Amino acid sequence: MRTASFHSRSSNSNGNHPVSSFSLSLLFLLLASVSASGTVPKAMSKPATGNFDRGPVIPTTPLVTFLEHVQETALATFGQKDFDPKLYVDLSLKSNLSTTVTAFHKLPRNATGSVSIPDFKEFMHEYFDGAGNDLVYAEPPDFVPEPDGFLPKVKNPQVRAWALEVHALWKNLSRRVSCSVSERPEFHTLLPLPGPVVIPGSRFREVYYWDSYWVIRGLLASKMYKTAKAIVTNLIYLIDTYGYVLNGARAYYTNRSQPPLLSAMVYDIYNRTGDLDLVKKALPALLKEHQFWNSGIHKVNVQDNRGRNHTLSRYYAMWNKPRPESSTTDKVHASKLLNASEKEQFYRELASVAESGWDFSTRWMRNTSDFTTLAITSILPVDLNIFILKMELDIVSMAQIVGDNKTVESFLKSAQARKEAIDSVFWNEENGQWLDYWISNGTGSQECQRWKASNQNNNAFASNFVPIWIDLFNSDTCIVEKVRKSFQSSGLLGAAGIATSLTRSEEQWDFPNGWAPLQHMIVEGLGKSGSQEAKSMAQDIAMRWINTNYVAYKETGAMHEKYNVEKCGDIGGGGEYIPQTGFGWSNGVVLAFLEEFGWPADLKIGCNGVLL
Ligand SMILES: *[C@@H]1O[C@H](CO)[C@@H](O)[C@H](O)[C@H]1NC(C)=O
Ligand SMILES: *[C@@H]1O[C@H](CO)[C@@H](O)[C@H](O)[C@H]1NC(C)=O
Ligand SMILES: *[C@@H]1O[C@H](CO)[C@@H](O)[C@H](O)[C@H]1NC(C)=O
Ligand SMILES: *[C@@H]1O[C@H](CO)[C@@H](O)[C@H](O)[C@H]1NC(C)=O
Ligand SMILES: *[C@@H]1O[C@H](CO)[C@@H](O)[C@H](O)[C@H]1NC(C)=O
Ligand SMILES: *[C@@H]1O[C@H](CO)[C@@H](O)[C@H](O)[C@H]1NC(C)=O
Ligand SMILES: *[C@@H]1O[C@H](CO)[C@@H](O)[C@H](O)[C@H]1NC(C)=O
Ligand SMILES: *[C@@H]1O[C@H](CO)[C@@H](O)[C@H](O)[C@H]1NC(C)=O
Ligand SMILES: *[C@@H]1O[C@H](CO)[C@@H](O)[C@H](O)[C@H]1NC(C)=O
Ligand SMILES: *[C@@H]1O[C@H](CO)[C@@H](O)[C@H](O)[C@H]1NC(C)=O
């Protein structure tokens, strides 16, 4: 196989300008042509049952286990109202664990396990530091109120003033792990990290994996390159320590990851800064991460209609107990299941859905009105495999930069194989979409199953369009046209952005909620394509999203985790916790959109100009 070409441009001495451009045009030639399945999939079939609870589970740390007991007692004591189970596993100890456990057991309890509120409050105060106290404020070293060259295309003064307020939120969300954590790690569920962090906000007090990609996109628009690199350094540290990037930097997140976007972070930072050292440092970590997603229980084989074997990846948490941060809630759901092995499998599904980032959604349910039918480990997800394909292509580019020809060659092969797998297993020519694929219950990584059209999930999800985000697909004009038309008529595009699905379920990752990352990937993909219609569609969606973020900000004083795409200015709801503000990826996507599309001086902002 030949390698892709790579052109160098000379660098500007301050290092803040592109130094080289990745050209994958040869690769496109090699990998071109989508082989369509050409069949109309029917409703999902029921594959055979198997031995479905695989993968070892070892107990979590004694501190996490203890804090789960505290969480249960807190629920019994305070009741359901405003109860957030995560708060209790985020506490840190003031004295050692055995002293604390002894005091906890001495608390007088009544028959329901509850403690009197004053007794419990006193115990909490005496033995714990507040949640989040071990993450301390850190002034970002590269923050200035108005960076040079900030959003040059934003001309409207009102929009500009708001963008600067959103930019200033990076200060609110900057933290570093307190020294107390490395002094007494056994007192904390927070994990030590080498660099400062940017958190999503509110109950998400620690660093998260996939959120960080859009945080970084915003930081790049804010010209905060040091802060962006520090985030990547932390994630590389997690790979060095655990073999993969954890869901988040907490002891109770050590048994699952999140959508793998580290390569995209490094690629984009390199694009802006030309920092070769970062690429050199990241490459070995990315190779390790690639291994994590392409081995063991994450790996699944499927044989297509033409007898060709493909390997794709799935989400699969190494966990079959309640998620510590939602332990009380998970147990209530599991109580509907009859026996221990069904409960274990359900707990694994819950943790694996958390690994997908889409927690929770009818996308992962066999019966969309029965939460206990979550079955993500029996699904090959489109977006996960696109992220891994992008990882492979990014590794090719980075290996070219550092002159590692062997890695270039082997990852070109991996990328080509995954492109073929995506074309054969996910692409649906009739729909003009890539569809998730149901595999049999309890599929191990050695088995190979036959592809069936009826196993494609025909429901519309925003993730069915995520492939357009990567250049390999958005540079293909035929595909872009098909996908644009399909998207236009999918019903997903609402007044205020792209809905996550068409099912109104009360879950967060369903209708009518819209999430910043999904808006961003689809808009960026359409915008990068050669099609004028796709480009204007991208701009239109970006404008709707900016308007709704703006109006909600003016009304509530905050950026939100998710929005209701049915109505401009409405925030999202549903799910297992109250809606959160802050908010890392929403801020990042607004800044990235304003950077790309700008805002003309004479264009009103607001819902149909009502606000101006
Ligand atoms: C950075 O990305 C832009 C947009 O995709 C591209 O045109 C440019 O060539 C890239 N620069 C580098 C250094 O890769
Ligand atoms: C797969 O396993 C789940 C959980 O045990 C079960 O409810 C479902 O019926 C199984 N599906 C098939 C097709 O056997
Ligand atoms: C869970 O994570 C911990 C910490 O990394 C690790 O020691 C343990 O082996 C993991 N459990 C499984 C089942 O992989
Ligand atoms: C915990 O602290 C108590 C009181 O300070 C001390 O007596 C005990 O030895 C400590 N236990 C451990 C395991 O460090
Ligand atoms: C236990 O305490 C809770 C709250 O403190 C109270 O609502 C409940 O009635 C008590 N139950 C019993 C059996 O005393
Ligand atoms: C950000 O921090 C500043 C200063 O602490 C505070 O005044 C402001 O309310 C914060 N903004 C938000 C949206 O949290
Ligand atoms: C595909 O995998 C099956 C089962 O592992 C094997 O029997 C078959 O030979 C493979 N086909 C090809 C073309 O490699
Ligand atoms: C648990 O229930 C499932 C489905 O009802 C059944 O197939 C399985 O044998 C049961 N396992 C045990 C240990 O009873
Ligand atoms: C789906 O779940 C609902 C609620 O539990 C139940 O009423 C319905 O019968 C289920 N549908 C199927 C096809 O099993
Ligand atoms: C790697 O490939 C490039 C481009 O094909 C070539 O110029 C270079 O000599 C190769 N390096 C090594 C170490 O083989």
8 Å CB contact between 66 and 101? yes
Q: Which-ligand-closest: CA of 58?
A: 3
Q: Which residue has the tokens 């690629």?
A: 267
Does 26 map to a domain? yes
Q: Is the CB of 50 under 6 A from ligand 8?
A: no
The count of domains in the chain is 1
What is the biggest distance separating any 2 CA atoms in the chain, rounded to whole angstroms?
74
Quick check: is 598 in a domain? yes
370 lines ligand 9 (CB under 6 A): yes
CB 392 within 8 A of CB 407: no
Structure pTM? Answer: 0.90
pLDDT of residue 60: 63
Phi, psi of 136 (to 5 degrees): -110, 155
For the chain, which ranges sit under pLDDT 50?
A: 1-26, 28-59, 610-612
What's the pLDDT at 580?
A: 81
In a domain, 110, yes or no: no
Q: Give the distance (Å) from ligand 7 centre to CA of residue 447.
A: 10
> Residue 237 belongs to a domain with what CATH number?
1.50.10.10
- Find the 368 Cα to ligand 9 centroid distance in Å: 8
Of the listed ligands, the closest to the CA of 116 is 5
Q: How far, in Å, is the centroid of ligand 7 from the Cα of 309?
A: 6
Task: Report the atom number in ligand 7 closest to the C-alpha of 308.
Answer: 13
Residue 312, H or E segment: strand 309-313
Specify burial of residue 357 (Cβ count, 10 A radius: 0-12, 13-18, 19+). Answer: buried
**Residues carrying an active site annotation:** 359, 561
User: Domain for residue 74, yes or no?
Assistant: no
SS3 letters for 508-560?
A: CCCECEEEHHHHHHHHHHHHHCCCHHHHHHHHHHHHHHHHHHHHHHHHHCCCE
Is residue 65 in contact with ligand 10, taking CB distance under 6 Å? Answer: no
Inter-axis angle of helices 516-528 and 584-597, nearest 10 = 20
Q: Which of 405, 407, 409, 412 to mutate to test the pocket of ligand 10 (most atoms within 8 A of CB)?
A: 405
Whether residue 503 is contained in a domain is answered as: yes
pLDDT of residue 16: 35
Residue-level pLDDT at 577 = 77
| Predicted local confidence at residue 376, as pLDDT | 98
Nearest CA residue ID for atom 8, ligand 7: 309
In this prediction, residue 441 carries a pLDDT of: 80
Rounded CA-CA distance 339/322 in Å is 15
Mutate to test the pocket of ligand 2, among 441, 443, 452, 454 (most ligand atoms within 8 A of CB): 441
Is ligand 10 within 6 A of the CB of residue 3? yes
Q: DSSP letter string over 63-93? A: HHHHHHHHHHHHHHHH-STT--HHHHHT-EE
* Inside any domain, residue 86: no
Rounded to the nearest angstrom, the distance between the alpha carbon of 32 and the centre of ligand 7 is 24
Q: How far is the CA of 476 from the centre of ligand 1 (A)?
A: 18
User: What are the tokens at 2?
Assistant: 């030949």
Identify which ligand lies nearest to the alpha carbon of 17: 1
List all residues whose CB is within 6 A of at least one atom of ligand 7: 303, 307-309, 448
pLDDT tens digits, 243-263: 999 999 999 999 999 999 999
- Taking the CA of 309 as reference, the closest ligand is 7
Position 258 in a domain = yes
Q: How far is the CA of 300 from the centre of ligand 7 (A)?
A: 13
What distance in angstroms lies between residue 15's CA and the mean position of ligand 5's atoms? 65
Pocket flag, ligand 1, residue 356 (CB < 6 Å): no
Q: Which domain holds residue 304?
A: 6-55+134-322+355-434+444-609
Residue 275 within a domain = yes
User: 253-276: b or e for each residue (b if 16 or more CB lie within 10 Å)?
Assistant: bbbbbbbbbbbbbbbbbbebbbbb
Residue with CA closest to ligand 5 atom 2:
114
